Amino acid sequence: MTTSNAITQRPDLGKVVIEKFDASEGYIGLELLPKIVVPNNAGIYPIIPHGVLTKDEAPVTHTDGREYLLRNPREGFEKTGYSYLRGNYQTMEFGLETDLDTIEHALMAQETPNAMHDEIAIDRIVEVMKRAREKRILNSLLADPAFVADKKAVDVPWTDLGAADPIKDIKLAMMDFRLKSGKTADVLVISYDVAQAMSMTASIRAAIAAAPNALDLVHLNAAQLSSLLNVRVLVAGAVHDAAIGYDKAADFTNLFPNGTAMLMNIAGGDWNGKAGVGRTPVWAGPYGAGVMVETYARPEVSGYTYRVRCYEGTCLFRAVSNTLSVTDDIAAKNIQLIDIDPAV
């Protein structure tokens, strides 16, 4: 530990934090908007729309009636052409501090002599920062005006266990999504409560009863739901204590709402890689690995203060300027919000 009020960087603890910071524990944000390390705090990235890859070139009219794309000897093939788009990303500095009193540190040393007390202190920060990141990512997907404006509703709310038909609803949504984005959806995102309740709907129970592989009705898991719905199911299981203040009784609430399901494509590769909704840019610049842990002493604190900080952002794939107006909002073409219960 530092013995003055000068800030001391702790790269050894930074490695510990990185491992904890990316752990799931019910958080799905980094699966939906995968992390990408960027060279600058803010910048421009290229986008090649999926539509460019699926669009046919305008065929040249050949006087000899030959087939499209076929060439004669010593002739050239027809030339392809496309426009790619550019978007902006920006990261911001997020962080939190916690104090470790000297008495607290001494007691920890007595009670758990082999423990890494620095790590115990920063665990408090990491959990808060992970939840904050999850909230940012989910809010960017669930509250975006373009996504909300295109939200679809099911015929029968899924809370109507007798009449609801989630299998039919998702099949129809998947068909629409394929024609909207140009490919089938990568994942269906639902809340933990919805995943548990789906096994009680009559349509799901009937499908399970007819399944040749005898799915377990009582212990239906995400993999089995994926088999029933024919799309990978991702269960958003994270909760947070909605009661503000340490002196308040816990009030645990889902971070992902029970009244919404979400189909989406997940970006992959580099900026030019697999089509998706967006990425989570992380600027590693001044911190090396993207997360920095620092410790320093303050006169008003009888002990030491630990600080964890990082530069991150939420980047949805949208073009800044281009000539292909129909493909400006790449993100909106790769996500579909579904209202499964208007009352929630």
- Token pair, residue 143, equals 């509250």
pLDDT digit string (tens) for 188-212?
999 999 988 888 888 888 887 776 6
Running along the chain, 344 residues long, what does each successive block of 10 average in pLDDT?
60 65 77 92 84 70 68 77 81 89 80 72 85 93 95 92 92 94 92 87 82 62 83 90 82 90 91 84 78 79 83 88 60 94 72
pLDDT digit string (tens) for 68-96?
677 778 877 777 777 777 889 999 999 99
Inside any domain, residue 76: no
For 233-252, give the secondary structure using H, E and C: EEEECCEEECCCCCCCCCCE
Residues whose CB is less than 8 angstroms from the CB of residue 157 and which lie 6 or more positions away in sequence, other chains included: 164, 340, 341, 342, 343
Q: What is the pLDDT of residue 182?
A: 87
Structural domains counted in the chain: 1
Between the alpha carbon of residue 181 and those of residues 264, 327, 337, the distances in Å are: 9, 10, 14
- Cβ(296)–Cβ(98) under 8 Å? no
Inside any domain, residue 75: no
- Cβ(323)–Cβ(284) under 8 Å? no
Q: Please report which helix (H) or strand (E) contains residue 176, including its range.
A: helix 166-181
Q: Within 10 A of 13 (CB to CB), how many other CB atoms are there?
A: 21
- Residue type (1 letter), 269: G
- Cβ(261)–Cβ(151) under 8 Å? no
What distance in Å separates the CA atoms of residue 313 and residue 324, rounded to the nearest whole number? 26
Q: What is the pLDDT of residue 153?
A: 93
- Cβ(309)–Cβ(94) under 8 Å? yes
Inside any domain, residue 60: no
What distance in Å separates the CA atoms of residue 166 and residue 157, rounded to the nearest whole number? 9
Residues whose CB is less than 8 angstroms from the CB of residue 146 and which lie 6 or more positions away in sequence, other chains included: 329, 331, 332
Length of the chain: 344
Inside any domain, residue 137: yes
Inside any domain, residue 78: no
Inside any domain, residue 120: yes
Coil/strand/helix, residue 189: strand
Inside any domain, residue 312: yes
Inside any domain, residue 176: yes
Range of 311's domain? Answer: 8-53+85-339
Q: What is the CATH number of the domain that holds 198?
A: 3.90.1690.10
- From the number of C-beta atoms within 10 Å of its C-beta (0-12, 13-18, 19+), residue 175 rates as exposed
Q: What is the pLDDT of residue 80?
A: 73
pTM of the predicted structure, to 2 decimals: 0.85
